[in-house]
Every structure is written in structure tokens, then in C-alpha cells.
Amino acid sequence: MSAKDGAPVELQLGKTLDFLSSIWALDHALHARSKAMAKKGGLTGPQRLALRIIGAFPNISSGELSRVLHVHPSTLTGVLQRLETQGLLARSRDKADGRRALFSLTRSGEKHATPVDFSVEGAVKKILKKANAEDMAVAQRIILSLADALLDGTVAGAHERAS
């Protein structure tokens, strides 16, 4: 598509709209890959990410997991319930605080939590091999700052507390 002066529209968007266009492309790609993952392996991107983190931190609470994922605990509830219903997660009560649920992987969950190339994680891993540490730090800072701005300060605050 071209504008009246013949220059591609993408070159005329300006910094903000061009960056936003890139974010929409990423959002679309994440959703598309997540749907493909669900068809191919039975788990969406968010479900798989939750499994991977729970596998790395057995007996993690939903509150801790929500902080790691930068989401509200209520957002995570459905993901955890679906994984538990599928027999991939085990829920136990914290002995120190019986109100607190702790999550760990079942044997089946461990099998599903192994890295696979055809996943969002696989694509990220492939790209990160090409990125240097400084680029990664800048990208992560921009992504979290944008998430923070969109959520009125809840993400960066959680990220800073976790650091």
C-alpha cells in the first residue's frame, strides 16, 4: 500500500504507530502459535508457560506464579483449573498457611513440560540466541514498561518487587 507521495504507508506511520503496529504483529503471532500449539500438543502457550514455571519451581503458590507471569491471580485461575482438570497439576495445601494452595507437576505434567521447538518458548529461545544481553535487557524493559503503562502501574511494580 502506498500513500499519495508514493512512499509505503509503513514509512509514514511515525515512531509510535510503527511500534504499535509491531506489537499488534507480535500479539497476532502469539495467539496464532498458541492456537496451533493447542491443536498439535493439547496446550495453549499460557498453559505451557505455567507448566514450565511450575516445573522449575515445584510447590509454587498461585500468587507467586501470578507475580512471575505479571498477571492478576484471577487471570491465572482458569489456566490452573484447566491444567489440574487435565491431570497435569497437583494442588496441595501449604502446611504453614492452610488457605494457600501450592502447585506442582504430576508425572503427566512433567512429560508435557519438556521444551519443544514448536512452541512460543521455542521461538523465543531461537531469537534470543541471536540477541546480545544489552538488546535483551532493553527489549524486556520496554515490554514491561508498556505493560505497566497499559495496566496503570501494576506490572512494573510487581516486576520491581520480584527483582
Summarised one tens digit per residue, pLDDT across range 39-91 is: 998 999 999 999 999 999 999 999 999 999 988 888 899 999 999 999 999 99
Please indicate, yes or no, if residue 28 is contained in any of the structural domains.
Answer: no
Please indicate, yes or no, if residue 149 is contained in any of the structural domains.
Answer: no
Please indicate, yes or no, if residue 2 is contained in any of the structural domains.
Answer: no
Distances (CA, A) of 70 to 6, 44, 48, 73, 82: 43, 18, 16, 9, 19
The confidence band for 151, taking pLDDT boundaries of 50, 70 and 90, is confident
Range of the domain at 57: 42-114
pTM of the model: 0.78
Please indicate, yes or no, if residue 142 is contained in any of the structural domains.
Answer: no
Cα–Cα distance between 133 and 71 in angstroms, integer? 25
Cα–Cα distance between 11 and 21 in angstroms, integer? 12
Most confident of 8-12, 36-40, 114-118: 36-40
Please indicate, yes or no, if residue 121 is contained in any of the structural domains.
Answer: no
Domain count, the chain: 1
The confidence band for 152, taking pLDDT boundaries of 50, 70 and 90, is confident
CB 76 within 8 Å of CB 66:
yes
Please indicate, yes or no, if residue 103 is contained in any of the structural domains.
Answer: yes
CATH code at 80? 1.10.10.10
Please indicate, yes or no, if residue 152 is contained in any of the structural domains.
Answer: no
Mean pLDDT of the chain: 87
